[in-house]
Structure 1
Amino acid sequence: MIYHHGLIRFIFERLVATVFVIFSVIVIVFTLLYFSPQDPAQNILGDQATAAQRENFEALFGLDQPYLVQLTDRLHGFITFDLGTTYQGNEDVLLNIENRFPVTLTLAFLSLVLAIAIAVPIGIISAVKVQSFWDYSFMFLALIGLSIPSFWQGLIFILTFAIELDWLPSTYIPGQFASLIMPVIVLGTGLSATIARMTRSEILEVMHEDYIVTAKAKGLSNRRIFTKHALPNAWIPILTVIGLQFGAMLGGASVTEKVFNIQGLGSYIVDKQFIPDIPAILAGVVYIAVMISVVNLLVDLLYALLNPRLRAELND
Structure 2
Amino acid sequence: MVYSNAFSRYIVDRLVLSIFVVVGVSILVFTILYFSPMDPAANILGESATAEQKAEFNERHGLNESYGVQLKESVQGIFTFDLGKSFTGKEDVSESIANKFPVTLKIAVFSLLLTIIIAIPIGMLSAAKMNTFWDYALMFIALIGLSIPSFWQGLIMILEFSIKLQCLPATYSPEQYSSIIMPVIVLGTGLTAAVARMTRSSILEVINEDYMITAKAKGLGTLTIFFNHALRNAMIPIITVIGLQFGAMLGGAAVTEKVFNISGLGSYIVDKQFIPDIPAIMGGVVYIAITISLVNLVIDILYALLNPRVRSKMKNS
Q: Which segment drifts farther, 228-237 or 283-292?
A: 228-237
Amino acid at match of 1:203: I
SS in 2 for 1:275: coil
Structure 2 residue aligned with 1:120: 120
Query: Is 1:30 matched with 2:30?
Result: yes
For residue 313 of structure 1, report the CA deviation from its aligned partner. 3.0
Structure 2 residue aligned with 1:82: 82
Distance 1:248 1:209 in 2: 32
Structure 1 residue aligned with 2:258: 258
Structure 2 residue aligned with 1:110: 110
For residue 3 of structure 1, report the CA deviation from its aligned partner. 4.2
Amino acid at match of 1:59: E
Amino acid at match of 1:246: F
For residue 5 of structure 1, report the CA deviation from its aligned partner. 2.3
Structure 2 residue aligned with 1:57: 57
Q: Which segment drifts farther, 216-225 or 187-196?
A: 216-225
Distance 2:243 2:308 in 1: 20
Structure 2 residue aligned with 1:213: 213
Contact 1:33 1:276 in 2 (8 A): yes
Matches within 5 A, 1:1-316: 1-316=1-316
Distance 2:205 2:295 in 1: 26
Amino acid at match of 2:305: L
Distance 1:314 1:39 in 2: 50
After superposing on structure 2, the runs of 4+ consecutive aligned residues of structure 1 that deviate more than 2 Å are 1-5, 312-316
Per-residue CA deviation, residues 144-202 of structure 1 (Å, 9 max, x unaligned), is 00000000000000000000110111111122111110000000000000000000000
SS in 1 for 2:175: coil
TM-score by length of 1: 0.98
Amino acid at match of 1:57: F
Contact 1:6 1:313 in 2 (8 A): no
SS in 2 for 1:285: helix
Q: Which runs of 5+ in 1 are unaligned?
A: none
Q: Which runs of 5+ in 2 are unaligned?
A: none
SS in 1 for 2:236: helix
Amino acid at match of 1:149: P
Per-residue CA deviation, residues 240-266 of structure 1 (Å, 9 max, x unaligned), is 111111111000100000000000000
Seq. identity, %: 64
Distance 2:204 2:81 in 1: 48
For residue 11 of structure 1, report the CA deviation from its aligned partner. 1.1
Distance 1:285 1:302 in 2: 26
For residue 315 of structure 1, report the CA deviation from its aligned partner. 3.9
Amino acid at match of 1:58: N
Distance 1:241 1:100 in 2: 26
SS in 1 for 2:38: coil
Amino acid at match of 1:304: A
Distance 1:30 1:194 in 2: 32
Distance 1:116 1:305 in 2: 19
Per-residue CA deviation, residues 117-145 of structure 1 (Å, 9 max, x unaligned), is 11111000000010111100000000000
CA RMSD in angstroms comes to 1.0
Per-residue CA deviation, residues 177-231 of structure 1 (Å, 9 max, x unaligned), is 1111000000000000000000000011110100001111222221111122111
Distance 2:132 2:53 in 1: 70
Distance 1:228 1:261 in 2: 44
For residue 314 of structure 1, report the CA deviation from its aligned partner. 2.6
Distance 2:150 2:208 in 1: 36
SS in 2 for 1:37: coil
